[in-house]
Amino acid sequence: MFVNARFAESVKMSEDRRVNRSSLAFAALVAASTVAISADAALTRTGTPQVAFHASGPAGMRIDGTTHDLNLSESGSNIVMAVPLANLTTGISLRDHHMRDKYLQIGSYPNAVLTVDRGALHLPAGDGSASGTAQGTMTIHGRTKNVSVRYAVIRGGGALRVSGSTNLDIRDFGIDVPTYLGITVKPDITVEAQFTATE
């Protein structure tokens, strides 16, 4: 789950446009960690986060999945963002069933977890914005891989609006490449998250 370049650009846009619906959760985690660096204060997630993944199939097929579940916590020097997958939906019930039970196997692996060291993040000291790329680890389907997370943080009104994204190959996490009735989804996906937190 990742922050894409679009997120970083959005930091410079108007406030309304910044809060892109598909960028919340992961970026929020990352942003939270950045805040921690500067303030060393605990982060509390507020509002409704959004975590999304974007997958594609042959010749233009698009699949977008979203959830509004994201838990933010701290473990030692790390910021930990855990996304429960039980409510991850793509708009088609049967596809969701396949995704959750056959591929993600959420009965055994209920969460996707991104962990980022606070020291890898940078936050604006006062009102303003910051963005960057941080290294972290992603755990999905019981497997943990190093990932590079693009993040952006906007501080204002006593809150941090965080977004981030990363690119994944689901095969790295031991997830079978989904195939249904002759259509095979590409293994490369983008994960985005947006959330708001306070220190």
Partner 1 sequence: MTFARRALPYVVACFAFAAVFFAARPARAFPWMIREGYTGCNTCHADPSGAGILTAYGRGMEEVVLRMPYTKNKDADPGKTGNFAFGVDLPEQLLLQTDVRNLVMAIIPPSGNAQVQDILMQLDQSAQLKIGRFRLNGSIGYSPPNITDASSGFTFTGGGLGATLTDAPGQYGAIVARQYWVGADIGKDEEFLLRAGRINVPFGLRVIEHPFLVRAVTRTDIDKGQQHGVSLAYSSEKLRGEAMAILGNYAIQGPPGHWDDPHERGGSFFFEWTPTTNVAVGGSGLVTYAAAARQDYDPSLDGTAPIVRQAWAVHARVSPVKPLVLLAEADVLNNSQNLVDALGGNYAVNHFGLAGLLQADVQLYQGIHVLAAGELYDGHIADHTALGSTYDSTTAVLWLGMWWFFAPHCDVRLDAVHSFGSAPGLPPLAEGTSLLLQFHGYL
Q: Is residue 58 within the footprint of partner 1 (CB under 8 A)?
A: yes
- What distance in Å separates the CA atoms of residue 180 and residue 58, rounded to the nearest whole number? 12
- Please list every residue from 171 through 190 that binds partner 1, using CB under 8 A: 180-183
Q: Is residue 16 within the footprint of partner 1 (CB under 8 A)?
A: no
Within 10 angstroms of residue 91's Cβ, the number of other Cβ atoms is: 10
Task: Name the residue nearer to partner 1 (CB basis): 95 or 117.
Answer: 95
CA atoms within 13 Å, Cβ hemisphere of 196: 12
Within 10 angstroms of residue 132's Cβ, the number of other Cβ atoms is: 18
Q: Is residue 86 within the footprint of partner 1 (CB under 8 A)?
A: no
Task: Name the residue nearer to partner 1 (CB basis): 62 or 76.
Answer: 62
- Maximum distance among all Cα pairs of the chain, rounded to whole angstroms: 53
Q: Is residue 94 within the footprint of partner 1 (CB under 8 A)?
A: yes
Cβ atoms 116, 78 nearer than 8 A:
yes
**Selection from 172, 170, 173, 174 nearest residue 185 by Cα:** 170
Q: Is residue 107 within the footprint of partner 1 (CB under 8 A)?
A: no
Q: Is residue 62 within the footprint of partner 1 (CB under 8 A)?
A: yes
User: Using the rule CB under 8 A, which residue among 16, 60, 107, 146 binds partner 1?
Assistant: 60
User: Using the rule CB under 8 A, which residue among 3, 63, 81, 175 binds partner 1?
Assistant: 63
Q: Is residue 64 within the footprint of partner 1 (CB under 8 A)?
A: yes
